[in-house]
Amino acid sequence: MMFDKNIEISKNAQFITIKDFEKFEKDYLKQNYTNNDTKYIFKITTLENLEKFHKMELLNFNSRHVSIECSKQIYLMLNTSKLINQSIVKSVDIRNMNIILNLYVVEEISESILENNTKMLKRIEFLTEDLKVHSKNYEILYQANSILKEFNKTDKKYKNVKTRINKLNDLVNK
C-alpha cells in the first residue's frame, strides 16, 4: 500500500450524517462529494438499517473518511471482515454502550494494517465503559505525514537560503 496523504481529514471538512437508508442516494454522494473534505457518518440503529447498509456496499467509496455509529448488538452483526479488509481502522470510540468506528476506506491494505485492524476490532469485545482507542498504524501514518510536512517546509527554506547564498557568491565574484 502506498502512503496516502489524505489519511487526515481536512480542517474544513463537511460531515454527512446518514440515518435513513431509504432516502440515501449513493450515486449522488459519489458524484458530488469526491474529495477529502467529506466524512460520511453512518448511524445504524436498527436491523433493517444494518441490512440496507450491507446491501448498498457503502464502503466502496475509496479514499474516504467514514464513521459507523451503532450499538454493540448491531456491531456484532456488522460484516467486520469487510471493514477489516477495505479500510484502515483509525479509532474505536465507545460512549454509553454505543460504538463509533472511525475508518479510512482504501483500495488495498498491507498485511500489517490488516493485523492492526483485527486487533483494534477484537478489543471491542472486552471494552465495557466509555473509552477511545486509537490505531497504532493510524497514529504512525499521522506522525509520518506531520514529519513530511515539516521536512518539506524546512527543505524549501534550505533551498531558498542556498539560492540566496549562490546569488551573493555570484555578485561577490563579479
**pLDDT tens, position by position, 123-138:** 777 665 655 566 666 6
Cell numbers representing residue 2 in the block: 502506498
CA distance 54 to 51: 5
Length of the chain measured in residues: 174
Q: What pLDDT is recorded for position 1? A: 41
Cell numbers representing residue 64 in the block: 474516504
68-125 tens-digit pLDDT:
999 888 888 888 888 888 888 888 888 877 888 888 888 888 888 888 888 888 877 7
CA distance 85 to 87: 6
Confidence of residue 167 (pLDDT cuts 50, 70, 90): confident
CA distance 152 to 105: 26
| DSSP state at residue 125 | T
